[in-house]
Structure 1
Amino acid sequence: MESVRRILHAAMPSQSYSIYRGVEEEDEAELHIEEAPRVDQSSHPKCSRFQISPQYQKLIIAVIVAAFVAFILGYVSTRRPCVACDVNSVEIVSDESYEQEASEPIRMDWSELKDLFTKYLTDGSKMEENIRRVSRAPHPVGSAENSGLADLVLQTFKLYNMDHTWAENLFAELQFPNRSHPNSLYIVNDSKIVERIPVGDPDVYCPYSATGKVEGGLMYVNYGRQEDFQELKSWNIQVAGSLVIVRTGLISFAEKVHNAEGAGARGVLIFPDFAEVPVYGHVHFGTGDPSTPGFPSFNHTQFPPFKSSGLPKILAQPISLSSAKTLLGKLLGRSIPEKWKVPDFLSHGVGPALSSEGHKVQLEVTNGAVSMELHNVFGSITGRFEPEHYILIGAQRDSWGPGAAKSGVGTAILLELARTMSMMVHNGFQPRRSILFVSWDGGDFGSIGATEWLEGYLSMLHLKAAAYISLDTPVLGDENFIARTSPLFTNLIENVIKQVDNPRRSQQSIYDYMSQRSGNWRADVIAPLKKDSSAFAFTASAGVPALEFSYVENSQPYRFLDTQQDTYQKLNEVVNGRLPSVAVCVAQVVGLSLMKLSHEHILPLDYTAYNDILLKHMMNLQTHHHKLKLRGLSLDWLFSARGDYTRATQRLKQAIAQSDRHNEKVIQFFNVRIMRVEFYFLSQYVSAIISPYRHVLLGRGDHTLDTLMEHLSREQGAIDDSELRKQIALFTWTVEGAANALSGEVWEVQRSF
């Protein structure tokens, strides 16, 4: 009524009115107008009195009140959010009810989201069907079977009505056997052939072996690990100038050959110690196309004139178990220790001498390079508020053999999660961030498809990719659950495995099962990324946090990986007939991780994890304080940089805790800083071509902490002072740069030294 009084006052300036409705007395239920005191008209000669009848006054008031009420009701009833507004521009729209309505689909309670995921994830029948379909026959790179699987994955993504589906082709230089002149192995005397040793299946070879012909003595070096070569050294036995023979297992073929080359060996023979079955494996100590280190193989006509430093300079060849028995039976020298003995083998010496005087081993490798087209297949679900940030999940598709463990299970889980997530989106769930599902080609040659795509988008991927989850070899058993991961995922993994039942025992979570085994689940579950995996390339090369999950065995590990016996039946036997259920268990872990990474407002990456890791490394470096002091060097600056990083994480954590979680602009600002933590630890002082794995803590090369530690561990006379100064400086400023980047804007950086 106050507004009515003001309107009447403006309309009748010659008189003041007091308007009121009596509510306490029954006889005063209508409006009254009380005349104000009469004004002296002598001072206002042009003013005259204006009288309005009571009935007319009531009519005016009624019309004004009705118009006012109609306006209010019309405003409320017609108020609607603008459907043309961009849902990603929430900060522009100040209307509170619109923000609530627009955000409602992605603000699902975690329990509701988990129930929705469980509802659409199958019980295992679809998983079994897909594993069998992918692994029914060998499907190596370039084969019609592999191309058919690529088409199948692409059509399946389209069937799920994903937002975007596409395939990308690339060319890589691969290595294949020379059918007209196969690889060969002989016992020779004065370079004359004495005995031919069959290598086994002529199609079995080591891609990226050096080519040529070498001969020399032969030495048995167990698994070919660094500690095995160190043990030979402790016996005063020199490897240099000889060939070595090692058995499969524990480390990759590439690592075995790399270690042998470092010890001075001229060639490596690799045999399976468990069955008469040919075993395949590449020997490039790295990932991606070794002909294009650091940049992509998208144009096959322009291979550069240099190669990857991870290519071996010595020969390598797999041989059969029977051929290995023949060769080992001829070795003389010191008797092998019991722990080196192969079951069912007769005792033999370490070598390098053979039983016949003057006899040597001659190895010839004739593999040739071929340019091959590869096909990566993609499907994506677009995020709601941060569509420009991706959560990637990928699996190897190709396999030299049937590949049940190598590619079948991973591809099946990829397809099942793509279907499940699509169903969830079509039933109300909308992730904050985009999800990319990828089927990689060229995995058998060192994650070529994944690494080359990564290198193709290297200049921008650290701005886009928040995390990468690898599905390579996710099931190799059902006894131990392993998470090979960047340190940033530890808290996420703990949260997720508490919510998934262990396949060996229902009603008991993976976390409880692994904790009961030793009392320290982290020691049993968390492991570093494998250096020959696509996940390692994403983190060490591009600075994208990566992880991969796998079930493995301890007592009888799955030995048929990279063989023609890697079938559904073999793998199912290893897991006691529970392959589909174990695969579903891994899918649950990966799916819950995927939802948390794509759904939560603040990325669930523990950026404080490097605080303790850096401190531990600082303490290890401090043990060499006396060597540094003799050279006038100090670690004070490095300790200060580590302190800056710790303070930066604490400030970021405090800022997030005090921020408005509903302010999209602020949330995205924090997430950008969190998702780039691994990128901050890439050395900016080395070339991506010369040293692709630029991560100073996880990578490889002269810029890494491992190399610095190895340098300090040398004898005093073997330390290069100028090189040591450079290594300390580069590592210090990489850590300081990470602290500055995590701090945010330059005016927020608080340098302590």
Structure 2
Amino acid sequence: GVVYANYGRPEDFNWLKSVGVSVTGSVVVMRVGGGVSFAEKVWLAEKNGAGGALIYPDPADLPQDPRRLGLSTHTVHLGSGDPFTPGFPSFNHTQFPPIRSSGLPLIPALPITAAAASNQLSGPPCPPSWRGRLPYVRCVVGPEFSSGQRVKMSVHNVMTPVLLNNIFSSLEGRVEPDQYIILGAQRDSLGPGAVKSGVGTAILLELARTFSTMVKRGFSPRRSLLFVSWDAGEFGNVGATEWLEGYLSMLHLKAVAYFSLDQAIMGKTCLMKPLYLNSGAYSFTAFAGVPAMELRFSEERAYPFINTPLDSVSRLQEVLGGRLGVTGRSLGELVGEMVLRLTYDPVLPLRITSYGQSVLQFSAQLNQHAAELGLSPRWVFSARGDYSRAAESLQRTIDDSDLHDPSTSRLNARIMKVDERRPVIIVEYYFLSQYVSAVETPFRHVIHGRGNHTLSALTEHLALLTSDPGRFDEKRFRRQLALFTWTLQGAANALNGDVWSIHNAH
């Protein structure tokens, strides 16, 4: 059978269940968008028992003639990097046999045109919000074609080794040359790629030219700058992730921060989005424990032509009212100012107190169910308190420090580097869980990562006590809670630099 599942979001599959439509063994048809990536759509379809996934661009989301509407190839790997070398670098497949990533789907998935998606289904009618703009199509969810036809899916992919080329350029710092501020952008695109790769690459080149000119005119950066053009970004940030995997053992000691310029111009309003899976910055923090961010000019309604053959400079100019050059310059100047401060300030202007508030919200929810579970939340409260106190103490020391005092450089050691007298203190790095495998669960960061070890997974699991008690697994929850708590306590101990103040009762 064939079932239409709107955007393929969790709430869409829940609605299908509520009206008695099963997707088990069926091919699920989903439309692009809805805040859900290709990989997440396929993963959710598989999770709900589907036998295959087809994804199409609806004219409601991509305003073009549906008879000519198509999509470029998309990655369905729920992860980043080479999906056959998860957690380690892809250097030589002939000597190291491939290991399948846990993020690869087990069901076939393909993009299709809007015209191909317009075949008539039979079954219950769609909710009004599910109705797109396919011409002459009555919106129903399936699971059968009205004509009695059936669908057979097959994917004929061939694995071929390809040499990737990441391109690096650097400006060496004069005081802390082994500390790097990294700027990067994806270089490749399967289509015209104006937003996908063109704008980010142009801004990267302009920033590299500008800083190089400043150095020639006498500017002397305290820390080093590294400009990187990434290859194979179109296939799941492969170039960037493989580099991270190859240098993981030392990057957290040397990388001050990473700025992703991918898809930097998609509208007129400046936004700083939280890290998300398909972001060029995501792997730096969630996998490698390096502070990272992605600035973007966008709009409330997403730029509709991304990942399509219509992602051209002329269409982007139409969206921006002819102000592509001005908008690109504004974003470049904004990123440049932030990079300049990280490059030059004696004390790194990094804020490390916000995670405590995120954990506090979860702790309050846990406290409501503590009696029901026969579980004391005091260890979570204690770890959160230790982290918050350590972070606030260090933040006060940073804020009150004398920027002209040479001893302030030692503060940076507590934030991100190592010397002969102190332990390694790197805030983001210590939020990488030590209790999960980088091969099975590459995104080990307990706040930004993906997997059962994360704060979001704990929160979702706890919510089942209210929404669906039959699915709550107390044994698994207790294990999740213990591993998360000790990761948080480890981050607190690392900020303190103490090895004797671990409160433990036997």
* Counterpart Cα distance in 2 of 1:285 and 1:588: 33
* Counterpart position of 1:245: 29
Q: How far does residue 310 in structure 1 lie from its aligned partner after superposition?
A: 0.4
Taking structure 2 as the reference length, the TM-score comes to 0.91
**Alignment equivalent of 2:144, drawn from 341, 353, 358:** 353
* Counterpart Cα distance in 2 of 1:307 and 1:602: 43
Pairwise CA RMSD of aligned residues?
Answer: 1.8
Contact 1:597 1:604 in 2 (8 A): yes
Contact 1:239 1:263 in 2 (8 A): yes
* Counterpart Cα distance in 2 of 1:381 and 1:746: 38
- SS of the equivalent of 2:102 reads coil
Contact 2:351 2:395 in 1 (8 A): no
* Counterpart Cα distance in 2 of 1:335 and 1:453: 49
After the TM superposition, which residues 104-115 of structure 1 pair with which residues of structure 2 at under 5 Å, given as runs? Answer: none
* Counterpart Cα distance in 2 of 1:363 and 1:718: 32
* Counterpart position of 1:713: 463
- SS of the equivalent of 2:433 reads coil
Is structure 2 residue 262 aligned with structure 1 residue 472? yes
* Counterpart position of 1:271: 56
**C-alpha distance 482-660 of structure 1, shift in aligned 2 (>3 A):** closer
**Alignment equivalent of 2:105, drawn from 312, 331, 334:** 312
Q: How far does residue 657 in structure 1 lie from its aligned partner after superposition?
A: 4.8
**Alignment equivalent of 2:208, drawn from 415, 418, 438:** 418
Q: How far does residue 562 in structure 1 lie from its aligned partner after superposition?
A: 1.8
- Amino acid in the other structure paired with 1:669: R
Contact 2:6 2:31 in 1 (8 A): yes
Contact 2:114 2:134 in 1 (8 A): no
- SS of the equivalent of 1:363 reads coil
- Amino acid in the other structure paired with 1:233: K
* Counterpart position of 1:550: 296
Q: How far does residue 356 in structure 1 lie from its aligned partner after superposition?
A: 3.0
* Counterpart Cα distance in 2 of 1:311 and 1:431: 43
**C-alpha distance 746-661 of structure 1, shift in aligned 2 (>3 A):** farther
* Counterpart Cα distance in 1 of 2:357 and 2:5: 37
**Alignment equivalent of 1:680, drawn from 420, 430, 435:** 430
* Counterpart position of 2:493: 740
Contact 2:461 2:477 in 1 (8 A): yes
* Counterpart Cα distance in 2 of 1:356 and 1:343: 21
- SS of the equivalent of 1:620 reads helix
- SS of the equivalent of 1:378 reads strand
* Counterpart position of 1:540: 286
Is structure 2 residue 385 aligned with structure 1 residue 385? no
Q: How far does residue 724 in structure 1 lie from its aligned partner after superposition?
A: 2.4
Is structure 2 residue 221 aligned with structure 1 residue 431? yes
Q: How far does residue 717 in structure 1 lie from its aligned partner after superposition?
A: 4.8
- Amino acid in the other structure paired with 1:425: V
* Counterpart Cα distance in 2 of 1:673 and 1:412: 36
- Amino acid in the other structure paired with 2:92: N
* Counterpart Cα distance in 1 of 2:359 and 2:207: 36
Q: How far does residue 305 in structure 1 lie from its aligned partner after superposition?
A: 4.1
**Alignment equivalent of 2:95, drawn from 290, 294, 302:** 302
Q: How far does residue 225 in structure 1 lie from its aligned partner after superposition?
A: 1.1
Contact 2:58 2:134 in 1 (8 A): no
Q: How far does residue 388 in structure 1 lie from its aligned partner after superposition?
A: 1.1
Q: Deviations over 1:465-516 (max 9, x none)?
A: 11100011001122x32212xxxxxxxxxxxxxxxxxxxxxxxxxxxxxxxx
* Counterpart Cα distance in 1 of 2:199 and 2:397: 42
- Amino acid in the other structure paired with 1:292: T
* Counterpart position of 2:11: 227
* Counterpart Cα distance in 2 of 1:561 and 1:461: 31
* Counterpart position of 1:667: 408
* Counterpart Cα distance in 2 of 1:220 and 1:440: 36
- Amino acid in the other structure paired with 1:277: L
After the TM superposition, which residues 371-382 of structure 1 pair with which residues of structure 2 at under 5 Å, given as runs? Answer: 371-382=161-172
Moved over 6 A (4+): none
Q: Deviations over 1:43-94 (max 9, x none)?
A: xxxxxxxxxxxxxxxxxxxxxxxxxxxxxxxxxxxxxxxxxxxxxxxxxxxx
* Counterpart position of 2:270: 481
- SS of the equivalent of 1:655 reads helix
Q: How far does residue 271 in structure 1 lie from its aligned partner after superposition?
A: 1.0
Is structure 2 residue 325 aligned with structure 1 residue 580? yes
Contact 1:398 1:441 in 2 (8 A): yes
Q: How far does residue 565 in structure 1 lie from its aligned partner after superposition?
A: 2.1
* Counterpart Cα distance in 2 of 1:317 and 1:750: 52
User: Please, which moves more after superposition, 345-354 or 370-379?
Assistant: 345-354
* Counterpart Cα distance in 1 of 2:7 and 2:95: 38
- Amino acid in the other structure paired with 1:285: L
- Amino acid in the other structure paired with 2:103: G
Q: Deviations over 1:573-606 (max 9, x none)?
A: 1111111111111101111111111111211111
After the TM superposition, which residues 68-217 of structure 1 pair with which residues of structure 2 at under 5 Å, given as runs? Answer: 217=1
* Counterpart position of 2:242: 452
5+ residue gaps, structure 2: 417-425
- SS of the equivalent of 1:373 reads coil
Task: Name the % identity.
Answer: 52
Is structure 2 residue 316 aligned with structure 1 residue 571? yes
5+ residue gaps, structure 1: 1-216, 485-527
* Counterpart position of 2:423: none
- Amino acid in the other structure paired with 1:644: D
Is structure 2 residue 115 aligned with structure 1 residue 322? yes
Contact 2:126 2:141 in 1 (8 A): yes
* Counterpart Cα distance in 1 of 2:413 and 2:69: 49
Q: How far does residue 660 in structure 1 lie from its aligned partner after superposition?
A: 4.6
Q: Deviations over 1:403-444 (max 9, x none)?
A: 111111000000000011111122222222111100000000
Contact 1:414 1:471 in 2 (8 A): yes
* Counterpart position of 1:493: none
**C-alpha distance 634-437 of structure 1, shift in aligned 2 (>3 A):** same
**C-alpha distance 348-725 of structure 1, shift in aligned 2 (>3 A):** closer
* Counterpart Cα distance in 2 of 1:725 and 1:409: 47
* Counterpart position of 2:46: 261
Contact 2:173 2:220 in 1 (8 A): yes
- Amino acid in the other structure paired with 1:241: G
**C-alpha distance 635-720 of structure 1, shift in aligned 2 (>3 A):** same
**C-alpha distance 637-745 of structure 1, shift in aligned 2 (>3 A):** closer
**C-alpha distance 279-727 of structure 1, shift in aligned 2 (>3 A):** same
Contact 2:431 2:445 in 1 (8 A): yes
After the TM superposition, which residues 337-348 of structure 1 pair with which residues of structure 2 at under 5 Å, given as runs? Answer: 337-345=127-135, 346-348=137-139
* Counterpart Cα distance in 2 of 1:236 and 1:685: 40
Contact 2:168 2:227 in 1 (8 A): yes
After the TM superposition, which residues 12-27 of structure 1 pair with which residues of structure 2 at under 5 Å, given as runs? Answer: none
* Counterpart Cα distance in 2 of 1:305 and 1:538: 23
* Counterpart Cα distance in 2 of 1:742 and 1:710: 28
Total equivalences in the alignment: 483
* Counterpart position of 2:184: 394
